[in-house]
């Protein structure tokens, strides 16, 4: 639990406006930011080293202010972080990392299919998201937040995921 | 230098050459030893810096995703370096995140508080703090502690070797100087013996043997020349005495003859 508190303290800078966010989502927000440090994106025409790294949230934002708080205080390799609320699929293709809220589960397969090859790191937390071929999938293990990485999906997106991150991921069942 | 004054030249020469060679060699050994230690320490710091950087880099994911077990595994790989006594990884807030103890008996020591980045040597240990950076941000600190016993053992081996080298060289220098000092001391003692002989026997016909064309050679030449001059003066003196004697004898016989003649005439 101490670790959870530590993480919560790390990402919970200042008081949140719209009510308190559960510790779980504070941790997940911190993890989203940390994932970005262990992933290499292919060069895009629209982005360079100066443009901010965009983290999108598709659907209802479960993080409250946690993501904004992180974005305000941190940079990734000198790049600032921008948080964007995403409502449609075309918008989703223009961000670097996108989190799918459980609310979007209904059309997840179609959405992910449209994003294929667009170099977007997709992160989700539902079984459906995982089955539909999302790249990183949050998993709760007792009271710890852990994650699975779908390396095939990552390759399709042209993302290079650090071996260190893969080592920490819960192994996925190989699809036949 | 007072003690040297009354020693025979032979001893003086040996004492001087032994002293010079031993002091020079001791200085050389000391300089090499200091140099060796400095280089060894620098190399050690450099190697530990690399270890800290690699270990830190391998701990970034564990630190980021709160997997202390993974960082512990990374630290465990330090066991291939038997000189590393202990290692700590601290999180961003300075709390101990994971540790590695080579010897479980270190358990009783509390983790060192985070110090300034860099290294220091103290009580036979090399201690180093390095920040762990990820994507341009410091996310933790790594602390490594290396045992200096092998370095000190090496230093004492060096001291022993130096003493051995010094003793061996002193022996060689002793034999060499014992032989080489003769170049100076022998002509001098020859000269001294000749002087003693001339004085005792008043014999100016002896000559000191000359060995080389150095200052000693010209000293012996000068001495021999002086003997020759004395000899010559003596010979001249004798010659003049005998001449005078002969002249006197002649005049005496002439006088005698005149005496005889006058006596007969009268």
Task: Based on the fold, state whether residues B157 and B200 are members of the same structural domain.
Answer: no
Backbone angles phi, psi at B126, to 5 degrees: -105, 120
Task: Round to whole Å and give the CA distance between A161 and A170.
Answer: 14
Residues from chain B contacting residue A31 (CB–CB below 8 Å): 64-65
Chosen domain end from B113, B147, B170: B170
A16 pLDDT higher than 60? no
Contact (CB<8Å) A144/B91: no
Task: Based on the fold, state whether residues B165 and B199 are members of the same structural domain.
Answer: no
Residue A19: which pLDDT band, with cuts at 50, 70 and 90? low
Task: Based on the fold, state whether residues B135 and B221 are members of the same structural domain.
Answer: no
Chosen domain end from B170, B205, B240: B170
Establish if B52 belongs to a structural domain.
yes
Task: Based on the fold, state whether residues B110 and B188 are members of the same structural domain.
Answer: no
CATH of domain A2-168: 3.40.50
Task: Based on the fold, state whether residues B198 and B93 are members of the same structural domain.
Answer: no
pLDDT digits (tens, 9 = 90+) for B65-113: 999 999 999 999 999 999 999 999 999 999 999 999 998 888 888 888 8
* Residues whose CB falls within 8 Å of the CB of residue A62, separated by 6 or more in sequence, listed in order: A21, A25, A28, A101
Give the distance from residue A78's alpha carbon to the nearest chain B alpha carbon, in angstroms: 7
pLDDT at residue A173, as a whole number: 67
Q: What value does the mean pLDDT of chain A take? A: 85
Length of chain B: 266
- Which one of A9, A75, A167 has the shortest CB-CB distance to B70? A167
Establish if B43 belongs to a structural domain.
yes
* Residues whose CB falls within 8 Å of the CB of residue B8, separated by 6 or more in sequence, listed in order: B185
- Which one of A6, A77, A146 has the shortest CB-CB distance to B136? A77
* Cα–Cα nearest to B151, from B29, B39, B31: B39
pLDDT digits (tens, 9 = 90+) for A44-78: 766 777 789 999 999 999 999 999 999 999 999 88
pLDDT at residue A174, as a whole number: 55
For chain B, the domain total comes to 2
Identify the domain containing residue B126 by its residue range. Answer: 2-170
Q: Determine which of B68, B132, B135 to mutate to test the interface with A (most A C-beta atoms within 10 Å).
A: B135
Establish if B207 belongs to a structural domain.
yes
- Which DSSP category does A170 fall into? B
Mean pLDDT over A125-144 rounds to 92
Domain boundaries defined on chain A = 2-168
- What residue ranges of chain B have pLDDT lower than 50? none
- Which DSSP category does B113 fall into? P
Task: Round to whole Å and give the CA distance between A154 and A115.
Answer: 12
CA nearest to B64 within chain A: A34
Residues from chain A contacting residue B66 (CB–CB below 8 Å): 3-4, 6-7, 27, 144
Q: Helices (H) and strands (E) in chain A — how many of each? A: 8, 9
Neighbours of A20 (CB within 10 A): 12
A3 pLDDT higher than 60? no
Task: Round to whole Å and give the CA distance between B73 and B181.
Answer: 70
Q: Distance from CA of residue A11 to its chain's centroid?
A: 15
Task: Based on the fold, state whether residues B19 and B144 are members of the same structural domain.
Answer: yes
- Which one of A31, A37, A168 has the shortest CB-CB distance to B135? A37
Residues from chain A contacting residue B95 (CB–CB below 8 Å): 6
Task: Based on the fold, state whether residues B199 and B144 are members of the same structural domain.
Answer: no
Find the DSSP H helices in chain B.
2-5, 9-58, 60-64, 68-76, 149-180, 182-201, 215-265
Tokens representing B256 are 């005698």
Establish if B30 belongs to a structural domain.
yes
User: What per-residue string of b and e applies to B164-175 under the rule 16 or more CB within 10 Å gives b?
Assistant: eebeebeeebee
Q: What value does the mean pLDDT of chain B take? A: 92
Task: Based on the fold, state whether residues B164 and B194 are members of the same structural domain.
Answer: no
Mean pLDDT over A139-151 rounds to 92
pLDDT at residue A45, as a whole number: 67
Contact (CB<8Å) A6/B64: no
Tokens 């609320």 sit at which residue? A85
Give the distance from residue A18's alpha carbon to the nearest chain B alpha carbon, in angstroms: 26
**Residue B105's CATH number:** 3.30.450.20
pLDDT at residue B110, as a whole number: 83
- Which DSSP category does B64 fall into? H
- Would you say the C-alpha torsion B132, B135, B138, B140 has a positive or negative sign? negative
Chosen domain end from B131, B148, B170: B170
- Say if B239 is an interface residue toward chain A (CB within 8 Å): no
* Residue pair A11/A66 in contact by the 8 Å Cβ criterion: yes
Task: Based on the fold, state whether residues B126 and B38 are members of the same structural domain.
Answer: yes
The interface pTM score, or ipTM, of the predicted complex is 0.83
Q: Determine which of A7, A12, A34, A138 to mutate to test the interface with B (most B C-beta atoms within 10 Å).
A: A34
**Cα dist from A62 to A5, A25, A91, A152, B144, whole Å:** 19, 7, 19, 27, 41
Task: Round to whole Å and give the CA distance between B131 and B256.
Answer: 133
Task: Based on the fold, state whether residues B35 and B155 are members of the same structural domain.
Answer: yes
Give the distance from residue B61's alpha carbon to the nearest chain A alpha carbon, in angstroms: 6
Task: Based on the fold, state whether residues B214 and B241 are members of the same structural domain.
Answer: yes
Give the distance from residue A88's alpha carbon to the nearest chain B alpha carbon, in angstroms: 30
Task: Based on the fold, state whether residues B71 and B153 are members of the same structural domain.
Answer: yes
């Amino acid at each position: 639990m101490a670790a959870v508190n530590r993480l919560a303290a790390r990402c919970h800078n200042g008081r949140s406006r719209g009510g308190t966010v559960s510790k779980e989502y504070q941790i997940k927000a911190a993890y989203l930011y940390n994932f970005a440090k262990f992933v290499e994106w292919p060069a895009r025409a629209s982005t360079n080293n100066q443009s901010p790294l965009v983290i999108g949230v598709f659907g209802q934002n479960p993080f409250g202010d946690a993501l904004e708080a992180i974005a305000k205080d941190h940079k990734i390799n000198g790049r600032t972080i921008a948080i964007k609320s995403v409502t449609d699929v075309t918008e989703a293709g223009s961000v670097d990392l996108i989190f799918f809220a459980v609310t979007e589960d209904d059309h997840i397969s179609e959405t992910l299919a449209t994003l294929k090859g667009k170099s977007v790191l997709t992160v989700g937390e539902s079984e459906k998201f995982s089955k539909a071929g999302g790249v990183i999938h949050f998993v709760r293990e007792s009271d710890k937040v852990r994650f699975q990485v779908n390396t095939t999906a990552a390759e399709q997106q042209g993302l290079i995921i650090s071996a260190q991150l893969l080592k920490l991921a819960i192994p996925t069942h190989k699809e036949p | 230098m007072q003690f040297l004054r009354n020693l025979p030249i032979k001893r003086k020469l040996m004492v001087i050459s032994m002293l010079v060679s031993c002091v020079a060699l001791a200085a050389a050994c000391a300089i090499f030893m200091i140099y060796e230690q400095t280089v060894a320490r620098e190399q050690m710091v450099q190697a530990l810096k690399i270890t800290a950087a690699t270990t830190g880099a391998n701990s970034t994911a564990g630190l980021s995703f709160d997997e202390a077990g993974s960082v512990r595994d990374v630290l465990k790989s330090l066991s291939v370096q038997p000189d590393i006594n202990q290692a700590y990884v601290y999180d961003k807030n300075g709390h101990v995140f994971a540790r590695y103890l080579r010897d479980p008996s270190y358990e009783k020591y509390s983790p060192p508080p985070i110090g300034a980045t860099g290294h220091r040597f103290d009580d036979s240990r090399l201690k180093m703090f390095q920040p762990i950076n990820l994507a341009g941000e410091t996310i933790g600190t790594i602390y490594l502690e290396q045992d200096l016993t092998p370095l000190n053992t090496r230093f004492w081996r060096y001291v022993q070797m130096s003493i051995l080298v010094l003793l061996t060289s002193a022996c060689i220098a002793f034999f060499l100087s014992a032989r080489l000092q003769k170049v100076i001391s022998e002509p001098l003692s020859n000269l001294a013996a000749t002087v003693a002989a001339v004085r005792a026997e008043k014999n100016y016909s002896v000559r000191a043997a000359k060995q080389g064309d150095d200052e000693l050679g010209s000293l012996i030449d000068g001495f021999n020349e002086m003997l020759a001059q004395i000899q010559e003066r003596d010979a001249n003196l004798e010659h003049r005495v005998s001449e005078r004697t002969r002249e006197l004898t002649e005049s005496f016989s002439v006088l005698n003859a005149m005496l005889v003649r006058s006596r007969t005439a009268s």
